[in-house]
Amino acid sequence: MAVNNNPLIVEVLKNLCEKADKPNGFLLPISIYSDPVSDEDAKEYASSDYAYIQKETHDFYEVAIALKGSAVFMMKGGYYPIHENQILIVDKGVIHANGWLKTVHDNALILWISIAETKLRIHTTTYSKERLYDSGMDIFGAVKPLVEEAFRELKTKNDGYEQAVSSYIKALLTFVYRRIESNIISSGSIWGRLLVQEIEEYVYENISAKITLQQISKSLAVSSNYLSIVFKQVRGQNIIEYIHKMKLNKAVTLLHTDLSLGEIAKRLSFADQFHFSKVFKKHMEISPSEYRKLISDDNIESGKATK
């Protein structure tokens, strides 16, 4: 990515790494294995004052760092708030949602680190009256074992586990910070557009398959909620609408062949011919059979004109 590094992310990581070197300066990460807030305190986060994004789950780890304000995570029936400079780790396969206080002012700024097999995807998101993505970057490197070890310590809670977890998280943040400082990667708001291009490439390459938002999230190692927000802001439509549009573009081509409507529906992984026809008519304002008749009539008229 031929753009400058994001100064906010660089400064944040630098400050966190400096705090990690100071005695008692680094807060132990909150995790799904920590105790949630009490039932009495949970009433605050369950109130209508808090807005929550749609629940989701994915097969990669996420690290959330509160840069400004406060946020709260809802997991396994409990509430886990994080405040400025606190860290929360989200395990794989855990259904979760995060929320923020409803307000017209910015209330929370979160730095997200999504950890896949061989890379990290980092971005900031502002939570307020509207949810906005700020910018992001990709870093290549196999740091997944650090987070796995942190979770192992949090699960077993053997003597000294707090220091061990802090060491693993410090190593993760130091790795990210050094990669940024050495200009191995670059970032900026263009990252969102590049992310959208990756979504479009995935759809193009898998146009004949049944494509879900969860599959795209898994392939790109980015939260499905975040993908939806970025795609909507960059392209002005939601991802499912885009997938249908691309499949219908392909369907139009196939309608010029001798394939039956049922065969076309199967080839493009629609549930059945009825579903294919319903989606086609909704977006094209004409049924596939009507479209096929239309192009057939046009061909007949064209043939007459050339005689």
Same domain, residue pair 147 and 264: no
pLDDT band at 21 (very low <50, low <70, confident <90, very high): low
Same domain, residue pair 28 and 172: yes
Range of 264's domain? Answer: 241-306
Beta-bridged to residue 78, according to DSSP, are: 75
CA distances from 229 to 61, 140, 233 (A): 20, 24, 6
Residue 285 reports pLDDT greater than 80: yes
3-state secondary structure 203-227: HHHCCCCCCCHHHHHHHHCCCHHHH
Residue 77 reports pLDDT greater than 80: yes
Same domain, residue pair 116 and 54: yes
CA distances from 196 to 1, 134, 180, 303 (A): 14, 14, 23, 43
More confident residue, 175 or 287: 287
User: Is residue 145 within 8 Å of residue 120, measured between CB atoms?
Assistant: no
Residue 301 lies in a domain: yes
Residue 228 lies in a domain: no
Q: What is the pLDDT of residue 297?
A: 61
Q: What is the pLDDT of residue 7?
A: 64
Q: What is the pLDDT of residue 5?
A: 47
pLDDT band at 186 (very low <50, low <70, confident <90, very high): very low
Q: For the chain, how many structural domains are there in total?
A: 2
Average per-residue pLDDT for the chain: 82
pLDDT band at 200 (very low <50, low <70, confident <90, very high): very high
CA distances from 13 to 19, 128, 274 (A): 10, 23, 53
What sign does the dihedral 130-135-140-141 (CA atoms) show?
negative
Lay out the sheet containing 96-101: strands in order across.
50-52, 96-101, 71-75, 78-82
Q: What is the tens place of the pLDDT at every residue in 78-125?
A: 999 888 878 888 888 889 999 988 877 778 888 899 988 888 888 888
Average pLDDT over residues 132-136: 71
pLDDT band at 179 (very low <50, low <70, confident <90, very high): confident
Residue 178 reports pLDDT greater than 80: no
Same domain, residue pair 255 and 123: no
Percent of the chain clearing pLDDT 70 (strictly above):
82
Same domain, residue pair 26 and 131: yes
What are the tokens at 43?
């009433």
Cα-based angle 148, 150, 155 (whole degrees, multiple of 5): 95
Which distant-in-sequence residues (6+ apart) come within 8 Å of 222 by Cβ? 114, 121, 195
Q: What is the CATH number of the domain that holds 258?
A: 1.10.10.60
Q: What is the pLDDT of residue 185?
A: 47
Angle of helix 273-284 relative to helix 239-254, nearest 10 degrees, comes to 100
Q: What is the pLDDT of residue 302?
A: 53
Residue 207 lies in a domain: no
CA 273 to the chain's CA centroid: 32
Q: What is the pLDDT of residue 1?
A: 31
Candidate from 11-15, 46-50, 168-172, 282-286 with smallest mean pLDDT: 11-15
Residue 266 reports pLDDT greater than 80: yes
Which distant-in-sequence residues (6+ apart) come within 8 Å of 43 by Cβ? none
Average pLDDT over residues 129-139: 73
Which distant-in-sequence residues (6+ apart) come within 8 Å of 241 by Cβ? none
Beta-bridged to residue 73, according to DSSP, are: 80, 98
Same domain, residue pair 36 and 169: yes
Which distant-in-sequence residues (6+ apart) come within 8 Å of 285 by Cβ? none
Same domain, residue pair 47 and 180: yes
Helices (H), 157-287: 161-181, 190-205, 213-220, 224-235, 239-254, 261-267, 273-284
Q: What is the pLDDT of residue 260?
A: 94
Residue 4 reports pLDDT greater than 60: no
Same domain, residue pair 137 and 264: no
- The number of C-alpha atoms within 13 Å of 292 and in the hemisphere containing its C-beta is 16
Residue 193 lies in a domain: no
Same domain, residue pair 138 and 274: no
Residue 196 lies in a domain: no
More confident residue, 85 or 223: 223
3-state secondary structure 68-95: EECEEEEECCEEEEECCCCEEEECCCCC
Q: What is the pLDDT of residue 103?
A: 79
pTM for the model: 0.75
